[in-house]
Amino acid sequence: MRANIIRIGNSQGIRIPKALLEQSHLGTEVELEVEDEKIVIRSASRPRQGWGEKFRLMAESGDDRMIDEDLSVQTEWDKDEWEW
């Protein structure tokens, strides 16, 4: 399928036919990248997507406890060297 490059303000762009958008499942936000002299369009990544559900599952399985010792206990260094 061919498309024309058109002016959009100070930029240029293309109109993506509805059929291609439906087949690609692209959302309203995309990432653009150049690979081997080609422009690649991908759905924008959501790096933290699903974290809420993962944290909920961790809590249910009891895997959300601190791995360090009790940090409320002061060491000698804390008592002697730390300054506010």
Q: What is the pLDDT of residue 52?
A: 92
Task: Return the CATH number of the domain spanning residue range 1-64.
Answer: 2.10.260.10
The C-alpha atoms of residue 31 and residue 82 are separated, in whole angstroms, by 47
Q: What is the pLDDT of residue 69?
A: 67
The C-alpha atoms of residue 50 and residue 29 are separated, in whole angstroms, by 18
Could you state, in order of their start, the residue ranges of all structural domains in the chain?
A: 1-64
Q: What is the tens place of the pLDDT at every residue in 17-76?
A: 999 999 999 988 999 999 999 999 999 988 888 899 999 999 999 888 877 767 777 788
Q: What is the pLDDT of residue 82?
A: 81
